[in-house]
Structure formats: C-alpha cells, structure tokens
Amino acid sequence: MATELAPGLIHHPGFLDAAARIRLADEVATVLAAAPPFVPRMPRTDKPFSVRMSNAGPLGWVSDRDGYRYQAAHPESGRPWPAIPPTALAAWDAVAQYPAPPEACLINLYDPAARMGLHQDRDEADLSAPVVSLSLGAPALFRYGGLRRTDPTRSIRLLAGDALVIGGASRLIFHGVDRLYPAADLLAEDPLPGFLPAGGRCNLTLRRVSA
C-alpha cells in the first residue's frame, strides 16, 4: 500500500515483485554493457562521488569539474545512451501521474560503503514532473527533509522493489542516502545482480528533463 511521507512524496513498498526485480536487473545489465559505469565528480573541486553511475534514455545526467548537466552521450565513450529499460518505463507509467514519458534514467551503483549526501534534484527544466526512484539490491536508509538544507529530516528504509515518487510540493526537497544495510538483509528471492558487489545497491531515478 502506498504511503504519503510528505505532500507529493509517495512511497510504494514492494512495488516490483521478485520477477519484476529480476527482469529489471537483467535490463540494467544490458544498459551497463553498452554504457559502462563511470565515476561522476564534483563541480569545481573535481572530487569523485562515492557512487558509480550510468544513464539510459535520450538524455543522461553527468557531473564533472564543469558542473551538473544533461547530455545525449556517455562522457567517456561519446556514444548515445541506451534506451530506458521497459520495466522502469512501466513503473513510471504506473506511479508518476504525468502525461509525458521520462527522458533520463539515472543508474546509481552503490558499493556497501557508498553514500549520497543531501541534495536537490533541480537540473531539469520541467519541475512539474516528478522523479521516480526504483531500488534493487541491498536496503538503504533514505533521508529526506524540506526545501532548505537546514530543515529537519526523517528517514525510511528502502528495500529492493520499492518505488518512491518525489513530486508535487516535495519535488525540490533535500534528500540522500545515509547508509546501506548488510548483505544479510537482502531479500532471499533476489539473486544479487552481477553488476553489483556483495552488499551493493542499484537505484534508478527516472526524470523528465524538458519543459
């Protein structure tokens, strides 16, 4: 059953069943074979992120010394991004409640020690469209707050198969991932995708970029 954590922030626990999780993992593996993961870097400082990432769709999100941006090609190979996985597109259609399809699917790959600091998703021209997140692999502690970095925060555990919609009044909230939980907490029916290390996590975020 879906839960509204805050206005426009909707948690769909267990949205993808075991078969759908395995199917999505296979689709992501195909994407990564064509668009290998890379390490994004912070603007100005050039400090590497703790996650590796890739993208699917007409546009992909990248970050380097020159800044955050969307572009149509892989930053290392120069090749266009592969198509968005069908299972992810179906999830968007089911939960986004938005008339246009996503244009970017970010694929973040966490090793057990990786984190994602509090941030806003605000590089898109169309902020009326939600961000839809899908989780695979190890559970994660997801932290979310308000529209200011200093606002109070709360946390929930995201499990494999969970979907999260960040939209409406929550579209620009600060959010991040504080930690992953041990590999022993992985769902027994899910073989760990081959592109993840033991205890790793994959998070897909679907976004509409153009207004």
- Residue 31 in 3-state DSSP? helix
Chain centre distance of CA 122: 14
Rounded Cα distance between 137 and 195, Å, is 10
Residue 187 has pLDDT above 60, yes or no: no
Predicted TM-score (pTM) of the model is 0.94
| Of 128, 207, 198, the residue nearest 164 (C-alpha) | 207
Nearest alpha carbon to residue 144 among 108, 98, 105, 178: 178
- pLDDT tens track for 53-62: 999 999 999 9
Domain 3-36+87-207 CATH (choose: 3.40.50.720, 2.60.120.590, 3.40.50.1000, 3.30.2090.10): 2.60.120.590
Return mean pLDDT, the chain.
95
State the amino acid at position 80 in one-letter form. Answer: P
Neighbours of 142 (CB within 10 A): 23
